[in-house]
Amino acid sequence: MISQTSSAIRTTRPGSGLLCLAAIAFSGAIAACGGGEDSTAPSASTSTSAAFSSADRPNIIIITLDTTRADRFGCYGYSKAITPNLDRLAEGGALFSRAYAQAAVTPVSHASMMTGLNPYGHGLRVLHGTELTRLAEKAVTLAEVLAEQGYDTAAFLSAFPVSEYFGFDQGFSVFDAEFLVQTRETIISDGGVVNTGMNQRRADKTTRRALDWLARDRDTPYLLWVHYFDPHDPFVGPPTELLDSIPLPEGLDREGVLLELYDAEILFMDQQIGLLLGEIEKQSESDGQAGSVIAVLSDHGEGLGDHDWWSHGKLYEEQINIPFILNGPTITPGTQVDDVVRSIDLMPTLLELAGVAQEARPPIEGLSLLPLIRGESETTPRLAYADSISKLIYAQRKNHQTDRLFMLVEGSLKFILHLQHPEQSELYDLATDPKELINLYNERPRDVRRLEASLDALDFGRTRMRPEPRDDIPGDITKRLEALGYLK
C-alpha cells in the first residue's frame, strides 16, 4: 500500500541556498547547528526477516508530526512538493480533510491521541509555567491496551514534551528518548542559550533508532510510535547539504527565511519517513500476512504569521486543523473524508483495526473512523473540542489576551469561547471564511447559544479547569522547557 521513497534532492550551486540565509537570520545559530549535528544519512535496515505470527492482526504504526500544518502537504493542496512520501501514503489510503487536534500544545494533544479522550478527560492539562501535570497512571493508553493483547510495543521520540516525564511511556516495552541524557554542544539562539541535544533530536536520528528496532525478529504483531519534531523550531535544522540545495527567491526578509526553513524541515522529515515506510513495506511484503496499518497525523500546526502569531498554542485553523492520513490493507486507496474528525478518533479506529474486543477497551470519547471511511453518513455529526488554558504563553506575549479558550467545531461553524471575557468570544463560518477573519459572535446569537450549550453538555468543567499548581518541578525540567521556548 505504500511506496518506497525517493531521496533525490535538487542540487544547486554551493552557497546560494537556504543555509546561507538561515545563518544570517539566526546570527549563526542554524549554521552552528547544521555543522554540529551528525548529517550522515541513516542506513536503512536491510533485514526482511521480521515477522509477525498472527495472520489477522496487523502491525500498527503511528507517526506523529510535531508542529506540522496540513496546508504544507501536496495531498492537502500545497504547491511545493515537500511531502512526496506522505502524499503517496495518502493516495494509497484515506485522507481526512477536516481533522482537529484537541489542543495546540504538544503533550496535551498527544495525550488525546493516545487515550481517545479530550483534554479534560485524560487529565494532562497544561505544560506551561508552574502548572505542569502528567498523564495520570489511571489513564489507559493505546499502548497499554495493545500490549495487553500481545502486541510488541515501541516508541521513538524526538523531543522532551512527549517523554516519560509527561507519562507517555505507559504501555511501551521500548521507549526511546535517549537524547534526554545526552550532552551536546551549546547553541546560541536569538532567545539565549539552547542546549538542543538534551531536548530534541533530528528526524534521521530517530528514524535510525526505529529502523534498528524494526530489524529485530519477532513473532507477534507490533505497535510502533515514531514522533518527529523537526518543524517545531529552527534550532535543529536539516543537514547542510539539504539546506544548501534549496534555491530561494531573491530578497527574502527574515520571515521569508523562516517560512523556507519550515518547509525544509518538513521536506527532511518526509524523506526520513520515506525510509521508514520503505522498510515497513518491505517487511509486509515478505511476511504476506495481515500487513500494516499506518496512521500519520500532527499534534498541531503552527502560526506562521497568521493571526499575528508565530507559534502554536491557540485555536485558529492553522494551529488546530491537522493533517491526518490512514493507510492499511482494508482501506480503499484514494478515500477522502470531508466530515469533521478528531485526534481522539485515532485510538478507537486502531483498536477496531487490530480486532480488539469492545470489552477489552477502556472508556473512550472518540469514535472509530471506519464508518466514515466506508462512506457511511452519520446521523449525529462529530463535534470537535479543543482548549487552550496555558496562561503563560499569552501573558508574556505583548498585545495578546490571557483568557482561557474553549473550541467547538460543528460542521462549518467554529466557536471559541473566551471564558473570563465572553464578550470577546469568536464565531466563524469556515465555509465562507476559512481564514477566520470575520467574527460573527455578535451577529449570530442563536448559533452561539446552541454551541455554548453543546460545550456545557461535554462537561468540560469550566470551574474545574485549573489544575493544582506544582511547586516541585525540578530545575532541569524548567531548563528543558525554557530551551524549547515554552517559558520564554
Question: By Cβ distance, which residue is nearest to Zn ion?
Answer: 106
* Closer residue to Zn ion (CB): 91 or 233: 233
CB of 370 to Zn ion, least distance (A): 27
Q: CB-wise, 106 or 206, nearer to Zn ion?
A: 106
Which of these segments, 43-51, 66-74, 358-366, 480-488, binds Zn ion (CB under 5 A)?
Answer: 66-74
The yes or no reply on residue 302 touching Zn ion (CB under 5 A) is no
- Please tell me the distance from the alpha carbon of residue 192 to that of residue 220, in angstroms, as a whole number: 47
Nearer to Zn ion, 281 or 302 (CB): 302
Q: Which residue type, as a one-letter code, is found at position 202?
A: R
CB of 106 to Zn ion, least distance (A): 3
Long-range contacts of 376-379 (CB under 8 A, 24+ apart): 378/339
- Which range binds Zn ion by CB under 5 A, 49-57, 100-108, 270-278, 331-339? 100-108
Nearer to Zn ion, 297 or 347 (CB): 297
Closest CB 305 distance from Zn ion, rounded Å = 18
Q: How far is the CB of 237 from Zn ion (least distance, A)?
A: 18
Least CB distance to Zn ion at residue 390 (A): 12
Which own/partner contact pairs does 172-180 have at CB distance under 8 Å and 24+ positions apart? 172/143, 172/147, 172/225, 173/147, 174/213, 176/209, 176/213, 178/209, 179/205
Give whichever of 66 and 317 is closer to Zn ion, judged by the CB atom. 66
Q: Is 321 left (phi over 0), alpha (psi -120 to 50) or beta?
A: beta
User: Which residue among 21, 44, 66, 140 contacts Zn ion (CB under 5 A)?
Assistant: 66
User: Cβ closer to Zn ion: 106 or 199?
Assistant: 106
Taking CB under 5 A as the criterion, the residue among 244, 287, 299, 302 binding Zn ion is 299
> Does residue 106 belong to the site contacting Zn ion (CB under 5 A)?
yes
Find the shortest distance in angstroms from Cβ 358 to Zn ion: 31
Is 426 an interacting residue with respect to Zn ion (CB under 5 A)? no
Kindly state the smallest distance separating residue 172's Cβ from Zn ion, in Å: 19
Contact pattern for Zn ion over residues 344 through 383, marking x by CB under 5 A: ----------------------------------------
Residues lying near Zn ion in the complex (CB under 5 A): 66, 106, 299
